Amino acid sequence: MIKVDVKVLRLNHRRIRDARITTHVCLTARAFGASGLFLDGDHDQKLIKNVQDVVKRWGGSFQMDYEKNWSNLLDEWKKSGGEIVHLTMYGEPVQKVTSTIKKSKKNKLVVVGGSRVPTKVYEEADWNVAVTGQPHSEVSALAIFLHLLFEGKELDLEFEGGEIKVLPLAKGKKVIIDQG
Amino acid sequence: MIKVDVKVLRLNHRRIRDARITTHVCLTARAFGASGLFLDGDHDQKLIKNVQDVVKRWGGSFQMDYEKNWSNLLDEWKKSGGEIVHLTMYGEPVQKVTSTIKKSKKNKLVVVGGSRVPTKVYEEADWNVAVTGQPHSEVSALAIFLHLLFEGKELDLEFEGGEIKVLPLAKGKKVIIDQG
């Protein structure tokens, strides 16, 4: 897996309307190899706790942070030498641009909207990346981008230190639970 | 792109709780090359109409159907020579099993849950497929499975006959709108 730290910024989270979609964004970020997520918009402590509970039970060290000023975060991220990838249907095709993105070993902040994404995000982004030019979901866009960035190796990630682990099976369900 | 017809079955849709997630499942199915979706659970006509509106505006021929008996659908699908792929975190790793699935040229029904998936689904499925053994999202699981099944070629799909089309751009937004 490429050796860059990837974090996700979820813009404009709205506590009631977006609770489930944002949760899926967080869990997808974690499952596909990002190391953490910054939540912008409502300071939804229940959502943050839910994701932290998943991390505790399922392992790994995914970091959840509330970010009250996304604009500062973009500036700080770039100042500290990181790069910004903004996922938007209006951007350049992911299948064309990801090979260039992979060449840089700088840490990546992957930004996902949000209904209305401010112009500054398009301008500050090192890459505006489209996972198809069709409307679908920030959840699938994030999964596909991370999958291409990590070249499929994220599918073999192991999450250390969790209490629960699934054993792959052709039929049925089997889990190992660490009773501590 | 492999020449099989792929449809999706969304199990146990609940009108209020699942409206947005199921919409994202439908749009992901369409954007990533499935030809239609069967909706199980609540007969949510507003959701069906919303997706049909996207199809009208953005092109292609994605088919939305309400299915009142998922069990019959599985039986009929198999009787008519199709195969069933059930996406579940308890299944076999997608990165190992997709090459086998691709060898068969039979039509595929891709089943996505639902909180509680009945045992019959696991048993009737030709393949129970895990997109990681971690909790994340049926939306990202579907996107990754279709991406691997179609070998990335779905990212270049053209949707004919729509009124609106995005022009890929490094910065900013550009769309072509067919005013009819």
Probe site for chain B from A1, A138, A148, A155 (most B CB atoms < 10 A): A155
Q: What one-letter code names the amino acid at B63? A: Q
Relative orientation angle of helices B138-149 and A19-31, to the nearest 10 degrees: 50
Residue of B nearest to A21 (CA): B21
E-assigned strands of A43-163?
A: 63-66, 83-93, 108-112, 127-130
Query: What domains, with CATH codes, occur in chain A?
Result: 6-177 (3.40.1280.10)
Res. A166 pLDDT band, cuts 50 70 90: very high
Q: What is the pLDDT of residues B76-95, one digit of tens each?
A: 999 999 999 999 999 999 99
Element holding B135 (H helix, E strand): none
Q: What mean pLDDT value characterizes chain B?
A: 96
The reply to whether residue B54 touches residue A135, judged by beta carbons under 8 angstroms, is yes
Q: Which of A128, A127, A142 is nearest to B28 (CA)?
A: A142
- Identify which of B21, B31, B131 has the shortest CB distance to residue A132: B31
Tell me chain B's radius of gyration from C-alpha atoms.
16
Q: What single DSSP character describes residue A22?
A: H
Three-class SS state of B152: coil
> How many beta-carbon pairs below 8 A join chains A and B?
167
Are the C-beta atoms of residues B76 and B111 closer than 8 Å to each other?
no
The reply to whether residue A134 touches residue B168, judged by beta carbons under 8 angstroms, is no
More confident site: B179 or B151: B151
Q: What one-letter code names the amino acid at A178? A: D
- Identify which of A17, A91, A173 has the shortest CB distance to residue B169: A91
The reply to whether residue B32 touches residue A132, judged by beta carbons under 8 angstroms, is yes
The reply to whether residue B128 touches residue A169, judged by beta carbons under 8 angstroms, is yes
> Where does residue A169 rank: exposed (0-12), middle (13-18), buried (19+ CB within 10 A)?
middle
Average pLDDT over residues B144-156: 98
Query: pTM (2 decimals)?
Result: 0.98
Q: What is the pLDDT of residues B114-125, one digit of tens each?
A: 778 999 999 999
Residue A7 has pLDDT above 80, yes or no: yes
The reply to whether residue B90 touches residue A169, judged by beta carbons under 8 angstroms, is yes
User: Hey, what are A107's tokens?
Assistant: 């840490």
The reply to whether residue A58 touches residue B139, judged by beta carbons under 8 angstroms, is no
Q: Which of B112, B96, B103 is nearest to B29 (CA)?
A: B112
User: Hey, what are A30's tokens?
Assistant: 């974690």
Nearest CA of chain B to the CA of A37: how many Å? 14
Residue B149 has pLDDT above 90, yes or no: yes
> A-chain residues within 8 Å CB-CB of B58?
134-135
Q: What is the pLDDT of residues A18-76, one digit of tens each?
A: 999 999 999 999 999 999 999 999 999 999 999 999 999 999 999 999 999 999 999 99
State yes or no: cis peptide before B180, omega within 30 of 0: no
Probe site for chain B from A50, A53, A86, A140 (most B CB atoms < 10 A): A140
Tell the residue number behind the tokens 């959502």, with chain if given. A47
> B-chain residues within 8 Å CB-CB of A120?
none
Three-class SS state of B7: strand
Q: What mean pLDDT value characterizes chain A?
A: 96
Q: What one-letter code names the amino acid at A45? A: Q
> A-chain residues within 8 Å CB-CB of B114?
none
Helices (H), B10-155: 19-31, 45-58, 70-79, 94-103, 119-124, 138-149
More confident site: B51 or B180: B51
- Identify which of A20, A128, A135 has the shortest CB distance to residue B21: A20
Q: What is the pLDDT of residues A118-139, one digit of tens each?
A: 999 999 999 999 999 999 999 9
Element holding B59 (H helix, E strand): none
> A-chain residues within 8 Å CB-CB of B32?
132, 136, 140
CA-CA-CA-CA dihedral for A96, B8, B30, A114, to nearest 10: -80
Average pLDDT over residues B171-180: 90
Residue A179 has pLDDT above 90, yes or no: no
pLDDT score of B115: 76
The reply to whether residue A172 touches residue B31, judged by beta carbons under 8 angstroms, is no
pLDDT score of B1: 78
* CA–CA dist B83, B139 (Å, integer): 21
pLDDT score of B130: 98
- Identify which of B123, B134, B168 has the shortest CB distance to residue A130: B168
